[in-house]
Structure 1
Amino acid sequence: MGGGRFQELRVYQLSEKLADDIWKIVHEWESLPQNTLGKQIIRSADSIGANIAEGVGRGSYQENRRFIRIARGSLYETQHWLRRAYNRNLLTDEQVKILKVIINDLAPQLNAYLNSIGKPPNNNDQ
């Protein structure tokens, strides 16, 4: 795979972890939940990292910020689907606990990344 600095971003790595963990969980579900809720949750979780990557690739601060906002929306959508899955007894308490740790780290990371885009780096030599 080609090199891109987005892969080194902690926020991107967390989005990959969340998406991969969700994939592994959904993979174990029966066909009805997989084909309905499962596909939706996988798409929304995968969309978080995809939008981070696309934003970096757009080459402008404004476009990058726009795609980070979309990624944040995908994170919220993922949380919605996780709630639906839990209420339908598709997630165990342990799975929820693991995913919650990632989400509780990822959400503020997305906001911090959004706030950092387009601002000049701190220069302590002034």
Structure 2
Amino acid sequence: MSKNIVLDKSFNFGLDIIKLYLRLKSEKEYILSNQLVRSATSIGANITEAQYAQSKKDFVNKMNIALKEANESEYWLKLLWRAEIISDKDYKLYHDESSQIKALLINIVKNSKDRI
């Protein structure tokens, strides 16, 4: 049985962001952290859906949506960081995680499109 790296990374990223969200919520930051947790957890949800896609085009579509959600997550992280709501250390950690996921998704989408 092969390991699905992008699925594992997206799941772990979602968990990490949920923990960040709970911490920020306890600090009374609701708006940006809510947007972040929604987009970050959506990455793994779309990758999971893609595993049972009805066609190759459906697979690419779900993975593209996951890529868009990863990109959106980076936006919310950057806003939280630039507004000095999260530390430089937190920003770097979460941004690095999302960047790795984005790189994997870009590669998957490109290779999948080439096969269609």
Task: Say which SS state the counterpart of residue 57 (structure 2) adopts.
Answer: helix
* Bigger mean CA offset, 10-19 vs 43-52: 10-19
List alignment gaps of at least 5 residues for structure 1: 121-126
Equivalent pairs counted in the alignment come to 114
Q: So what's the TM-score if we normalise by structure 1? A: 0.79
1:124 corresponds to which residue? Answer: none
* Deviation, structure 1 residue 31: 5.7
Give the share of equivalent positions with the same residue, in percent: 23
**Aligned 1:29-44 pairs, distance under 5 A:** 29=24, 30=26, 32-34=28-30, 36-44=31-39
Q: So what's the TM-score if we normalise by structure 2? A: 0.86
What's the RMSD between the two structures over aligned residues?
Answer: 2.1
* Deviation, structure 1 residue 62: 0.6
* Deviation beyond 4 Å, 4+ runs, structure 1: none
Cα contact 1:61–1:117 (8 A) shared by 2: yes
Cα distance between partner residues in 2 of 1:104 and 1:42: 16
Answering whether residue 110 of structure 2 is matched by residue 109 of structure 1, we say no
Answering whether residue 44 of structure 2 is matched by residue 11 of structure 1, we say no
* Bigger mean CA offset, 41-50 vs 111-120: 111-120
Counterpart amino acid of 1:28?
A: R
Cα contact 2:77–2:95 (8 A) shared by 1: no
Task: Say which SS state the counterpart of residue 76 (structure 1) adopts.
Answer: helix
Cα contact 1:49–1:71 (8 A) shared by 2: yes
List alignment gaps of at least 5 residues for structure 2: none
* Deviation, structure 1 residue 99: 1.2
